[in-house]
Amino acid sequence: MKFTTKQITVRYSETDQMQFVHHSNYLKYFEIARLQWLSVLDISYADMEKEGILMPVVSAFTNFKKPLFFGDHFQINVILRKIPTATIEFDYIIVNQKDEVICEGNTVLAFLSPKTKRPMRCPKTLLEKFI
């Protein structure tokens, strides 16, 4: 399964002294992409938390190809790597307004019970959205 975000514009506060987007922002961009996708699938992260489902990031990887700069426009392609089990894994490709690959990445999130703080299976309601 694949999803492409709406266009995002780099804000000045996301850049560093070298005028590049600071590397820490890319994980935030990945989160924005995941939340946009969940929203399109009519899944509310806030509702999942109320229902006792937490999804912490347990692994993150980024591979930077080119920098983004203040004012650049970009989109993020999100790819679900496999059917979720106790974890859910996403690949990301950030592409700028010139269709250049800026960054590639991957995150793994675990499904966690807020009561036990232990892993749990992907909830059926969520699993059905991804099948």
Model pLDDT for residues 18-75, shown as the tens digit of each residue:
899 999 999 999 999 999 999 999 988 888 888 888 999 999 999 999 999 999 999 9
State the average pLDDT over residues 86-109. Answer: 97
Whole-number mean pLDDT of the chain? 94
Domain boundary assignment for the chain = 2-130
What tokens were used for 33? 């992409």
**Which pLDDT value is given to residue 117?**
87
Query: Could you tell me what percent of the chain has a pLDDT over 70?
Result: 100
C-alpha distance from residue 121 to each of 82, 88, 126 (Å) = 14, 10, 10
**Which pLDDT value is given to residue 96?**
98
pTM of the model: 0.92
**Which pLDDT value is given to residue 50?**
87
- Classify domain 2-130 by CATH number: 3.10.129.10
**Which pLDDT value is given to residue 108?**
98
Higher pLDDT, 94 or 117: 94
* Confidence label for 79 from pLDDT (cuts 50, 70 and 90): very high
Q: How many CB atoms lie within 10 A of CB 115?
A: 8
